[in-house]
Amino acid sequence: MLGNRALAREIQGEIGKATGEQVAVSIRDGIARLRGRLSSHQATVEAGHLAASMDQVREVVNDIVFPGQMRFKPPRKVSEELTGREFDVVVVGGGVIGLAVARELSQFNLSIALFERHNDVGMDQTTHSCAMIHPAIQAEYGTLRWEMNYKGNAMWGETARQLDVDFKRIGTLIVAENPEEEALLPYARDTAIKHNDPEPKLLDREGLDRVEPGLAANVRKGVLVWNTGIISVFELLIAYAENALSNGVSIFLDTSVIGVRTEDSSIKAVDTTRGTVRTKILINAAGLYADRIAEYAGDRFFTIHPRKGETIIFDKSYQPVRTVFAPVSLAAESRESKYTKGGGIIPTTDGNLQFGPTAIEVCDKEDVSTTAEGCDSLFDRLAPLLERLKPEYEKPDKRKIITQFAGCRAATYKEDFIIEPSRKVRGLVYVAGIQSPGLASTPAIVERVREIIQEEWHPSVNDKFNPVRKRQVRFSELDLKQQEELIQSGPRYGHIVCRCENVSEAEVVRALNGEIAARSLDGVKRRTRAGQGRCQGGFCMPRIVEIISREIGIGKERVVKSEGESYILSRRTK
């Protein structure tokens, strides 16, 4: 085993060979720290991965500077309204992980607060995910990501039942097009078994036709990894939040953490944009900014480097597949990709098909821009597979694409999850580096956090904890008789606001007055699907703006698309 100086020199040499440039490297407690200047962001990311590739390196702090680097601008304090409040536990981050952790810990007699920087929950990674519950077959065997993936996947049936969220196990279908590919199918089955997925099903042509009708004549064999699932991710966020609230958790939106106070190497308080809150336990589930929270606490031992993924969505009229569709050639391509599973052809619970996501390293954690290049690359890569393998079905058509979106994954350079108590600061617990398959892993991740809290603090059990949450009825899911009864109980159910998704005015009003209330056009969209259909809000947006204005009590020109100054209207004209 190399000593710290020898290891640092080796890493420095490898970076020099790869980039042609030199940086300073130091090692302490297994943490590689990189400093200096490189000519590009890509070289900086490559340097971080080279350092992380060393087995003796636990994590990487990458402080290399490069041209065009984004400077972090801390949010400003806006009030002191929370100063003086005290909670046993503070959770930083209102994505699916933070909300699920808060809900999980409400099983104990603990006062819990959750701080989310946006005006709604899950606005970073979660709502920009492909909403897929991955099998563990593609996770690197032996990593924490793999362990959380296979354990979490198996837990989703019960979790979705408790939260009353739409969840379907549709499976991943790997199909072979020739004898050479057919010979690889048993390997796919054996790999899944090794990764602790349930044993996949080897299918002959008759079995394939039952799972995916319309396959090309040359496709005679396949493997169904049947535990792959899809979930309604927007509904899931609200479900976790509502269940956490009903079990006593306090959720504070529009609240950013801007500092952490410690005393004798223990958590004492958290500074936020709305004041200082005292606490003994801080759960760092801050996603893309988890390294920033670690720095505030004096224990930064990793760097988050954002990796953007773009996805395209097709109209519901185009539904060529029932499963997550993965020809052997695509599955092999994904296995060869070092830091991503490669994206694919994925149905959604709402009936749309999606292609994606891509995987591109970016320097801006806020970069959710979409590009024509991203759309074209996904279509050009995946559409030919459907044309070749599903010749009897309607051909892919770019005119069927109704929208595209992008989000950034919160990756560390070791590309693994960090779920552990701090080794330096008592009371600080990390739930960081949670990228794909973070959604699939969520139930297992929060179970691990619960175990950490139990072992460290031994809280008593909350006998009143209720894990069950019931969702509101969707008008579009009812038959005509049930819809008529609902209209009789509330006439606004008879006012259809969104024709594409059959969303009523009553449902929009309910979204604006819920426990976690929508405060924007996108907030209404996430809760009701109004604006997510073929016309993407072209018909319903003016009416929804009117309803938001009326229900919240603001002028129409103050209604925002998302948050901040994303106003829909610029001014009154008359």
The catalytic site residues sit at: 134
In this structure, are residues 70 and 363 in contact, taking their beta carbons and an 8 Å threshold?
yes
Distance CA 94, CA 245 (A): 13
- Which residues does residue 312 pair with via DSSP β-bridges, in sequence order? 355, 404
In this structure, are residues 235 and 170 in contact, taking their beta carbons and an 8 Å threshold?
no
What is the gyration radius of the CA atoms in the chain, in angstroms? Answer: 24
In this structure, are residues 347 and 338 in contact, taking their beta carbons and an 8 Å threshold?
no
Q: Which residue has the tokens 């420095």?
A: 12
Q: What single-letter DSSP state applies at residue 560? A: B
Distance CA 56, CA 62 (A): 17
Distance CA 34, CA 40 (A): 15
**3-state class of 316 per DSSP?**
coil
In this structure, are residues 352 and 442 in contact, taking their beta carbons and an 8 Å threshold?
no
**Would you tell me how many other CB atoms lie within 10 Å of the CB of residue 440?**
29
Q: Which residue has the tokens 């995946």?
A: 382
Q: Give, rounded to a whole angstrom, the gap between the first and last alpha carbons of the chain.
A: 76
In this structure, are residues 341 and 359 in contact, taking their beta carbons and an 8 Å threshold?
no
- Which residues does residue 62 pair with via DSSP β-bridges, in sequence order? 34
- Which residues does residue 272 pair with via DSSP β-bridges, in sequence order? 257, 275
Show the 3-state SS of 419-470.
EEECCCCECEEEEECCCCCHHHHHHHHHHHHHHHHHHHHCCCECCCCCCCCC
Distance CA 527, CA 514 (A): 10
Which residues does 224 contact at the CB level (< 8 Å), separation at least 6? 171, 172, 173, 174, 200, 201, 203, 207, 211, 323
Q: What are phi and psi of 78, to 5 degrees?
A: -110, -20
DSSP-assigned letters across all residues of 96-149: HHHHHHHHHHTTBS--EEEE-SSSSTTTTTGGGS--EE--GGGSPTTSHHHHHH
In this structure, are residues 251 and 516 in contact, taking their beta carbons and an 8 Å threshold?
yes
Q: Is 157 exposed, middle or buried (0-12, 13-18, 19+ CB in 10 A)?
A: middle
Distance CA 476, CA 210 (A): 29
